[in-house]
Structure 1
Amino acid sequence: MLNCRACLWRCIQALDAPTANAHRLRRDVNPIFLPSQQRLLSTTRDVVRKIEARPANLAEVERLQRRGEEPWQRSAVAANQKKQERAALRAPPYSQAVHETPNLENLGRRDPTISERDWQNRKRELRHLQDPLELATFVKKELGKDRATEMLQLVRMASHSMECIVSWNHIIDHYLANERVNDALKVYNEMKKRAQFPDSYTYTILLRGLSINAHHSGVLSKALSVYHSLSAPNSRVEASIIHTNATLKVCARAQDMDALWGVAGKIPENGPQAANMITYITIINAIRQNLLLARPKGETEDEAAARIERGIMVGRQMWEDIVARWRSADLVIDEELVCAMGRLLLIGSRPRDWDDVLSLVEQTMDIPRLVPRLGTAARKEAGSPRVRATNTPPQYRSDDDHLTPDQAAMRGDEFLALTPHGVGRAVSNPLAYARPGNNTLSVVQEACQKIVANKAAREYWELLTDPTTYNIAPDVNNLHMRLRNLRLDRASGAAVTLLQDDMLAKGIVPKPGTFRIAMSTCVRDKNNHNSLRNASQILQVMLKTLEDADAKVVGMFAELAMTFPLARGTDLVDALTVLTPIVRSIRLQLGVGGERNFKYEVGATYLRGDERQDAIGALRKVYSVYDRLLFSNMLPEEQKPPFQAERARLSAFIQRVVFKDQGRRYRDHQDRVKAQARGEEETNDDVDLHSYLKDGGGDEGMVDGRHEGVRQGERRDRRASWTVHRTKPGGKKNWGQNLDARGLA
């Protein structure tokens, strides 16, 4: 009857209304309600009478319950239960409290190599990194804060529940960028053990990272091992041309051509794994580097020329394949590839190799040749100077193979300009020419310098830098190559114009080497009556640009003034006038100069080593200019005393500096002898100066210089004591300072 909820509900509703049958229902044999359910009818009089008849003690307990003063509420047990209740209310639902987040369910026990604190910190971080992308982003961000150890712990823990290959890649890349090659390889092997299989990006990061660490020992063998593992039958990743290029770069930087050709020999001719532009650039640069650096010991000039000739022929054969693929639109050629081949030709043994650079530029960039090819009739008709090639063996100076009866192809035909396939405007495969830049400008200028094409060098410069054509803004290297061509052409005036208009006017800061090339142009152009004046302008520009005068430039200027065939007395006086402040600066650098650590960066840098020797040599050349002026009839006798005084001061300073440097070397030699003899019972602390000079430790003139230095020291002591006794009262200048001002001291 009461099995239905509706029936039970109707029965309960019936109890709400007062009925006379309720008394009968409770006393029925088969009651509707159970004894425990009869409490619903406790509002009847019988129940009320029972409550009124309760004992007094139960009424007191009920009163305590109603007031909330029962002992239970004041007990520690109730307080503990209340605390647990609040904790249960704050805790997450039952399903979340029992089970961790999905990426922490299969975490397992703590790694004993990780401390408990780090373990808990990594768990808290990992609880909020549910997605591999979020994990990789977080790892990369923290690696920038140099938290490689913590991120490696985090990625290890995350590997239990998700694929986090990208995070492993970030760690490998971080280690390789910080030259930790062994640690990167350990991480690479560990990720495979943790079922995080490397992808194509992993091998790319690893091989590129090994290429930037090729200076470490054993990197080449490790790179080859990783690269060859891609060809294994069980490899999940197929080697791409990107992996091949990175491996080739490692081989090239390690200067192992055998390994390079071994990798290059496996490159297919067609398909996605075929060689691209970067592949050819890497191989051509490796050939050039090997020809320049890997010279066998005891190799003669003829053997070196033959070895370079073989390397050039390999590059020429490779270029034929490059042009064939470029013509069929399977390869893109850019400036870097063209200049790599051009610089390989520039180190060749034949003038033909140098001349082919201009044909190469015409073929790939559609820039016409401005000078006819070597060995052609047009070259002779143009009146171009003959290429001497003094450093080239005689058998490589001319190319006459094309004049043989078999009419062999002329050397350099692989660089001839191409004609697109088709007739008229119907071209099937139009060629995509490379655009020239600063690298091309330097290569062309160097090629013109080698083939002695000064006029063509100027025309190429104007063509490539013209805003209406290619609009190339020359950089410092371009300007240096242009200055070398001007030096070859003995154009000192053009060098000054280039220095002022193309560098200073355009905000390009010249370097010391810039002034050396420009000054050497004036030295080469010494037969020009304006060369000394041009050299003076270059020196003035250097003083305004550089913080300290370059000693080599000063020495070249003094040499020009000393050997200038058209020099007059006024020219030498003007040259010495320009040199006077520079000599003072060099004296400061040799004497009391220090590091530029002043507040306003004022002061002269103290010279050491080769720079010090260059400065002393420059002062000696300036001293020679004084000699030429004084021991000739260029200057009247009444005008010579000031120059004689300056010459005497300069001579004294040079002797003093040389003596100090020799004494310093002598003391260093004495200290080394003492250090070698240290520990023995008897040591000779006093090293004989004459025996030191005899062993090659100094100059023979050092003995005389030593005695001269002693005499100078005695004179300084006498002058100091005489100055003290001769000081006038009242704070006036002493007589010793007056002597110094007159140059008599």
Structure 2
Amino acid sequence: MFVRRACLRRAFATVTNRSLRPAHENTHPTPIPLPAGAAATPSPQRRYASVVAAPVAASASEPHEEAKQRKVSRPWRPTKPDIYEDPDPLLIANHVKRTLEAGKFDEAAKFTRQASLRSKVVVSWNHLIDYHIRQDRVHASLKLFNEMKKRNQMPNAQTYTIIFRGLAASSHTELAVSEASKIYFNMLGSNYIEPNTIHMNAVLQVCSNAGDLETLFRISETANETARAANCWTYNILLHALRRRASRKLPERAGPEFAAIPIEQDVEQVIKTAKRIWETVILEWRAGNILVDEPLVCEMGRILLLGDYFEALTVESLLEQTMMIPSVGRAAMPVADIPGGSKSTNLHNIPYAQPGNNSLSLILEALERSRRTSRTKHYWGHFIHHHKVVPDADNWRQLFKALHRGCDSAGVISWLRAMPAEFVGLRTFRLPMNTCMRNNLNRLAFGHATEVLNIMVERLRDADAPTLRTYLIVAQANKRHFFLDAKGDREAALKAYGKQLYKAIDAVWKHYMLLARRCEDQRTGSALKMDVIALARQMISVCDRLVTDNMIPARMANKTIGRRRNSLTRVVVNHFENMREEYPKFRQGFDKQDEDQYEKKEEEDWYPEKNDRGYKDSAQGSERSRDEQGREAAKRR
């Protein structure tokens, strides 16, 4: 194939000119000047196909706006600071913080060590120490602390605060107390940084979490009137440590024998120590040196609740002294008449603590412990209307506990209706229903329990199985007034009692069916299924009582109660058979005699009369022997 030399020369000339042309020159050739009056006529030229020339021509004709649109916009990212040309400590600290947030500790530590050669980067070292101590690495953080000082990066006040607060949250309590106290006393002996109130409170918190009262009071003695002046948080930590110490050794005092249990010697010593600390708090408060806030008042109040009945009585005076909350039956105590007040001090200018949810729970618990539950409504209204306190879930729980202690089954109904919807749950109605059970000697207790059941159905989608079971127990226990009104006519008393039991069974049956459908697909040992089976067994007990004592007509007993009892029995038997299949050791060694004794003990715990399941009037007593009771119980099953 022959190639024309002119074509080849022109092609090489085009490539050479465009590749060697400077970048700043215009891509268009310089036009040749023409004589005046001459017209510029395009010369006929031949176009040659060229691989190189085509893209260049397209790029030259592309508009400037389209070229801008093709550029990809990238987000701005902070660059790594240059520690040699511009060693700015702020930029270095920010870079170290971002690196640690990304989880690159080794890179951040290496960069901080290099930056330490050029400038003071104490904040960067603080970030490294805080990173380790937040992850409960005490030894690693203290190693960085010592390395920091060896590299001539002297720690500041924030460094010690980070270490002390991290040790307070550490799970290694003994190591934390040892290291915190050693660093703190080294600070006291050093002239570089004097520990302040924040440092002292942080070390006190370390000792409080560890329960080391000896070191706690040794550090509290280092307080002065200048840099380490004690504040309300200091006394709060001291009282909290005492309360934790007493609570670990305190038995349960919420039972009915609360006033009869003697106070242990260590608890009594803790209360005496707390009272001495409180005297100092009141003196400093009246002198205007500290502020008394709600957490401090509540710490002292809960220590008083650890004591006996008379200590619980003083909680009302405590709130009156610090929050000006008037007691029931008399007006608020004047500020100048508070015991121990100083006449030379202007007490009217002292700011009092602001009541809140914590103090409301405190006074409700104090009323429940001291059994003065009739004052509940007064304090609740005073907190809500006068101090504008919005009750939380714990306040409502303490309120129902106080009503339960006072057997106020009528009061729980109005409080349940006033309870906000966000606090209503399945467990909400258990304590009110138990209150009706506690008030079983009242002839209106079953009516109150029925009202609680109706409120639960209105406010919940599904009923609570334990609450339904307690409702049946209330129906069985609330029977004394039937026998008293009958005046010896046992038949009339049993018929009236039977109507109440039948009404309870009829009210519970539809809810039981809904719960049974819900737990069909659940495993045998699930919590819901166990609650439903316990409810079914209680329903069987009520049905047996109706049939055995002839409380209802025979036709109703065979048609309605009999069918329901048979259905419930099949469900219970199938459940226990499945339990034995899944758990071979289920009820192993639990014979019939043990089961009879367990049922008898459970019955005696629920019914104060203890009159053989209520078959006879409590005035007549039980005349049957234990063997006869066992045979009848086996026949009923």
Specify if TM > 0.5.
Answer: yes
Paired letter, 1:577: D
In structure 2, which of residues 521, 541, 560 is the aligned counterpart of residue 592 of structure 1?
521
Q: Which residue is equivalent to 2:613?
A: none
Cα distance in structure 2, aligned partners of 1:320 and 1:284: 12
In structure 1, which of residues 577, 580, 598 is the aligned counterpart of residue 509 of structure 2?
580
Q: Which residue is equivalent to 2:577?
A: 659
Query: Residue 272 of structure 1: SS of its match in structure 2?
Result: coil
Query: Residue 278 of structure 1: SS of its match in structure 2?
Result: helix
Cα distance in structure 2, aligned partners of 1:359 and 1:251: 31
Q: 1:301-312, aligned counterparts within 5 Å?
A: 305-312=264-271
In structure 1, which of residues 440, 454, 467 is the aligned counterpart of residue 359 of structure 2?
440
Q: Which residue is equivalent to 2:215?
A: 259
Q: Are 2:248 and 1:293 equivalent residues in the alignment?
A: yes
Q: 1:313-332, aligned counterparts within 5 Å?
A: 313-332=272-291
Paired letter, 1:139: V
Cα distance in structure 1, aligned partners of 2:295 and 2:105: 37
In structure 2, which of residues 539, 551, 564 is the aligned counterpart of residue 622 of structure 1?
539
Cα distance in structure 2, aligned partners of 1:127 and 1:562: 87
Q: 1:220-231, aligned counterparts within 5 Å?
A: 220-231=177-188
Which string of whole-angstrom CA distances, capped at 9 and with x for unpartnered residues, describes residues 116-156 of structure 1?
A: xxxxx997775797421222233333433333332222222
Larger Rg: 1
Cα distance in structure 1, aligned partners of 2:132 and 2:457: 47
TM superposition shift of 1:624: 1.4
Normalised by the size of structure 1, how large is the TM-score?
0.60
Cα distance in structure 1, aligned partners of 2:315 and 2:82: 60
Q: Which residue is equivalent to 1:64?
A: none
Query: Residue 465 of structure 1: SS of its match in structure 2?
Result: helix
Cα distance in structure 2, aligned partners of 1:428 and 1:323: 12
TM superposition shift of 1:459: 1.1
Extract unaligned runs of 5+ from structure 1: 1-73, 83-120, 374-413, 595-605, 670-692, 705-745
Query: Residue 312 of structure 2: SS of its match in structure 1?
Result: helix
Q: Which residue is equivalent to 1:274?
A: 229
Which string of whole-angstrom CA distances, capped at 9 and with x for unpartnered residues, describes residues 449-480 of structure 1?
A: 222223322211111111xx211111111111
Which string of whole-angstrom CA distances, capped at 9 and with x for unpartnered residues, describes residues 262-282 of structure 1?
A: 2223333x2231221111111
Q: Are 2:34 and 1:143 equivalent residues in the alignment?
A: no
Normalised by the size of structure 2, how large is the TM-score?
0.70
Cα distance in structure 2, aligned partners of 1:225 and 1:475: 42
Equivalent pair of 1:420/1:431 in contact (CA under 8 Å): no
Equivalent pair of 1:357/1:444 in contact (CA under 8 Å): yes
- Compared CA separation, residues 575 and 127, structure 1 to 2 (3 A): farther
Equivalent pair of 2:136/2:171 in contact (CA under 8 Å): no
Extract unaligned runs of 5+ from structure 2: 1-15, 23-77, 252-259, 483-495, 596-637
Cα distance in structure 1, aligned partners of 2:579 and 2:160: 57
Cα distance in structure 1, aligned partners of 2:261 and 2:245: 17
Paired letter, 1:527: L
Paired letter, 2:114: M
Q: Which residue is equivalent to 1:503?
A: 420
TM superposition shift of 1:444: 1.1
Which string of whole-angstrom CA distances, capped at 9 and with x for unpartnered residues, describes residues 395-450 of structure 1?
A: xxxxxxxxxxxxxxxxxxx994565646xxx9477221111111111111111222
Equivalent pair of 2:242/2:270 in contact (CA under 8 Å): yes
Query: Residue 327 of structure 2: SS of its match in structure 1?
Result: coil
TM superposition shift of 1:244: 1.5
In structure 1, which of residues 232, 235, 246 is the aligned counterpart of residue 202 of structure 2?
246
TM superposition shift of 1:608: 3.7
Cα distance in structure 1, aligned partners of 2:320 and 2:81: 65
Cα distance in structure 2, aligned partners of 1:198 and 1:638: 90
Equivalent pair of 2:173/2:209 in contact (CA under 8 Å): no
Q: 1:222-621, aligned counterparts within 5 Å?
A: 222-233=179-190, 236-268=192-224, 270-294=225-249, 305-349=264-308, 351-370=309-328, 416=338, 421=343, 427=346, 430-466=349-385, 469-504=386-421, 508-543=422-457, 549-565=463-479, 568-587=497-516, 591-593=520-522, 608=526, 614-621=531-538
Equivalent pair of 1:277/1:337 in contact (CA under 8 Å): yes
- Compared CA separation, residues 353 and 577, structure 1 to 2 (3 A): same
Greater CA deviation, 556-565 or 357-366?
A: 556-565
- Compared CA separation, residues 417 and 295, structure 1 to 2 (3 A): closer
Cα distance in structure 2, aligned partners of 1:259 and 1:316: 20
Equivalent pair of 2:81/2:91 in contact (CA under 8 Å): no
TM superposition shift of 1:520: 1.1
Q: Are 2:552 and 1:635 equivalent residues in the alignment?
A: yes
Paired letter, 1:700: D
Cα distance in structure 2, aligned partners of 1:416 and 1:429: 12
Equivalent pair of 1:159/1:196 in contact (CA under 8 Å): yes
TM superposition shift of 1:588: 5.1
Q: Which runs of 4+ in 1 moved over 6 A?
A: 121-125
Which string of whole-angstrom CA distances, capped at 9 and with x for unpartnered residues, describes residues 6-51 of structure 1?
A: xxxxxxxxxxxxxxxxxxxxxxxxxxxxxxxxxxxxxxxxxxxxxx
Paired letter, 2:314: D
- Compared CA separation, residues 592 and 128, structure 1 to 2 (3 A): farther
Paired letter, 1:290: R
Identity %: 28
Query: Residue 231 of structure 1: SS of its match in structure 2?
Result: helix
- Compared CA separation, residues 303 and 634, structure 1 to 2 (3 A): closer
Equivalent pair of 1:523/1:531 in contact (CA under 8 Å): yes
Which string of whole-angstrom CA distances, capped at 9 and with x for unpartnered residues, describes residues 469-497 of structure 1?
A: 21111111111111122222322232122
Equivalent pair of 1:327/1:429 in contact (CA under 8 Å): no
Cα distance in structure 1, aligned partners of 2:154 and 2:462: 59
TM superposition shift of 1:219: 2.5
- Compared CA separation, residues 204 and 576, structure 1 to 2 (3 A): same
Cα distance in structure 1, aligned partners of 2:262 and 2:326: 36
Equivalent pair of 2:83/2:118 in contact (CA under 8 Å): no
Paired letter, 1:535: A
Cα distance in structure 2, aligned partners of 1:699 and 1:616: 19
Equivalent pair of 1:129/1:135 in contact (CA under 8 Å): no
In structure 2, which of residues 176, 191, 205 is the aligned counterpart of residue 219 of structure 1?
176
Q: Which residue is equivalent to 1:700?
A: 591
Cα distance in structure 2, aligned partners of 1:428 and 1:651: 72
TM superposition shift of 1:615: 4.7
Equivalent pair of 1:562/1:624 in contact (CA under 8 Å): no
TM superposition shift of 1:550: 3.9
TM superposition shift of 1:214: 3.6
Cα distance in structure 2, aligned partners of 1:580 and 1:428: 64
CA RMSD in angstroms, aligned pairs only:
3.5
Paired letter, 2:233: I
Paired letter, 1:628: R
Q: Which residue is equivalent to 1:210?
A: 167
- Compared CA separation, residues 143 and 524, structure 1 to 2 (3 A): same
- Compared CA separation, residues 632 and 428, structure 1 to 2 (3 A): closer
Paired letter, 2:590: D
- Compared CA separation, residues 587 and 184, structure 1 to 2 (3 A): farther
Cα distance in structure 2, aligned partners of 1:178 and 1:167: 17
Equivalent pair of 2:235/2:296 in contact (CA under 8 Å): yes
Cα distance in structure 1, aligned partners of 2:338 and 2:363: 16
Q: Which residue is equivalent to 1:191?
A: 148
Equivalent pair of 1:487/1:518 in contact (CA under 8 Å): yes
